[in-house]
């Protein structure tokens, strides 16, 4: 058994055993079937650097937005009564005969919160998706510990987030592995939206939030919404098994939901599997194509309207390695607009948008009301919309609007499906008022 130094000669890496033997220092709380010798060896090679300064509490290894004590110079400011005379720059005083205080970069810790989806669907796949999620969380958590950051593990199951005690320092790596080993798939259904909301309420200050989930929830966009609203840097690791990417199914089957037990009868043949693969490949290719088109505009952030646009915007932002923002829908009290829906960027995100070059992204644009509202909100936040992007643009209405805003429109596909003129609209022909179609309108079911 040996103990080796980390890559920078600092804190020791996790002990590893001679090939073919079990690590003898592995605590009993750590599951060796999840975190085996080969995995422990790989932890030595990991290093992560956050993309932007953050504000933490304790001194750590991250560059902060605050000024303090370190060896790296940041700036000068005028001397004020009560300042530490040891921080005066006497060389500047000799040249300018003015007193200036030297400022230095303050290094602080941040909190890295690992949200592990423990719903029953995560226990499926070969290998199990939950096994992969635990190993990915362990790798990211070790990176945080080695960087002197605070690492917290939280399990999403049922309707709650079960948060473990925070850890700090490379010496706590086995405690991290034990916390992850204790995560087991939930019995029964899991409400990921409620669990994410509970996890968001447990966060303290800004930091990094990593969600590891298969996102097999009909309200996956709301999960991202709850977590993004915290103001933390959100990273989503979307975990799918090989069987979900390439289903080995054939014949007459009954597919059963692992959480609710509900089933559906299907007939799977080669054309069905080919259509599934083609649709998945087209979605992935379209997403990558859109991200490539937006990358040439110097984008610093991506903003999309809830629901579909924000989910796509979050994935585009991940590919471009920029920040993700969103605009939420609401019904104004005056209800003067035609569709009685407007868009607004949450207060916690508004200041973060100031001065940033943004891409406004939606999945499908037809009349463009969602894009119009999101674009207006971005400008109200003093952001700089550089481009509008979409997977699919229908008709010419959105193109004319975006052209009138003097910004380009990028899309993967464009179909000539313009809005109905009044004489062709079935609702107009039946004299059905649009306000009767809103949730607050009259009940026409009887």
How does pLDDT run across 40-98, given as a tens digit for each residue?
666 665 544 333 444 444 444 444 444 444 445 566 777 777 777 777 888 877 888 88
Q: Which residues contact 385 (CB under 8 A, 6 or more apart)?
A: 358, 359, 360, 375, 378, 379, 405, 407
CA atoms within 13 A on the CB side of 420: 8
CA distances for 6 relative to 60, 143, 171, angstroms: 17, 11, 12
pLDDT given at position 117: 93
Distance between CA atoms of residues 227 and 310, nearest Å? 13
β-pairing verdict for 150-157 and 233-238: unpaired
Distance between CA atoms of residues 403 and 49, nearest Å? 39
3-state secondary structure of 79: coil
- If you search the block for the tokens 């994935």, which residue do you land on? 315
Helix then strand then coil, in percent of the chain rounded to 5, is 35, 30, 40
Domains in the chain, ordered, with CATH? 37-45+110-245 (3.40.50.410), 59-108 (no CATH), 287-415 (3.40.50.2020)
Confidence at 154, pLDDT banded by 50, 70, 90: very high
Confidence at 360, pLDDT banded by 50, 70, 90: very high
Distance between CA atoms of residues 227 and 201, nearest Å? 9
DSSP sequence for 183-203: --PPSS---HHHHHHHHHHT-
CA atoms within 13 A on the CB side of 22: 11
Judge if pTM exceeds 0.75.
Answer: no
Q: What are phi and psi of 146, to 5 degrees?
A: -65, -25
């Amino acid at each position: 058994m040996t103990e080796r130094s980390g890559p920078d000669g600092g804190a020791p890496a996790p002990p590893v055993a001679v090939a073919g033997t079990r690590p003898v220092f592995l605590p009993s709380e750590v599951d060796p079937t999840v975190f085996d010798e080969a995995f422990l060896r790989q932890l030595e090679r990991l290093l992560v650097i956050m993309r932007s300064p953050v504000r933490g509490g304790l001194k750590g290894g991250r560059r902060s937005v605050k000024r303090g004590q370190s060896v790296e110079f940041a700036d000068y400011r005028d001397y004020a009564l009560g300042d530490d005379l040891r921080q005066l720059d006497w060389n500047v005083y000799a040249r300018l005969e003015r007193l200036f205080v030297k400022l230095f970069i303050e290094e602080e810790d941040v909190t890295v919160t690992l949200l592990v989806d423990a719903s029953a669907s995560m226990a499926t796949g070969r290998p199990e998706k939950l096994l992969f999620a635990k190993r990915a969380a362990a790798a990211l958590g070790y990176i945080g510990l080695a960087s002197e950051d605070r690492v917290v593990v939280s399990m999403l199951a049922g309707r709650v987030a079960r948060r473990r005690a925070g850890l700090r320092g490379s010496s706590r790596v086995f405690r991290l592995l034990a916390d992850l080993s204790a995560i087991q798939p939930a019995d029964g259904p899991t409400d990921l939206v409620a669990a994410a909301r509970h996890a968001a309420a447990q966060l303290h200050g800004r930091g990094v939030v990593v969600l590891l989930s298969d996102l097999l929830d009909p309200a996956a966009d709301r999960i991202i919404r709850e977590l993004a609203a915290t103001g933390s840097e959100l990273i989503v690791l979307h975990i799918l098994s090989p069987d979900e990417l390439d289903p080995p199914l054939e014949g007459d089957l009954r597919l059963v939901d692992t959480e609710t037990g509900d089933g559906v009868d299907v007939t799977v043949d080669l054309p069905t599997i080919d259509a599934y693969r083609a649709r998945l490949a087209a979605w992935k290719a379209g997403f990558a194509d859109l991200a490539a088109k937006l990358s040439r505009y110097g984008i610093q952030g991506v903003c999309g309207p809830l629901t579909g646009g924000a989910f796509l915007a979050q994935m585009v932002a991940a590919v471009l390695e920029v920040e993700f923002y969103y605009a939420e829908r609401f019904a104004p009290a005056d209800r003067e607009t035609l569709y009685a829906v407007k868009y607004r960027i949450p207060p916690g995100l508004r200041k973060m948008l100031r001065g940033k070059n943004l891409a406004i992204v939606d999945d499908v644009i037809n009349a463009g009301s969602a894009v119009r509202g999101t674009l207006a909100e971005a400008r109200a936040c003093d952001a700089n919309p550089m481009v509008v992007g979409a997977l699919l643009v229908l008709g010419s209405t959105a193109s004319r609007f975006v052209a009138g805003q003097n910004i380009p429109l990028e899309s993967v596909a464009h179909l000539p499906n313009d809005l109905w003129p009044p004489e062709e609209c079935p609702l107009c022909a039946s004299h059905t008022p649009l306000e009767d179609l809103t949730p607050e309108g009259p009940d026409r079911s009887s």
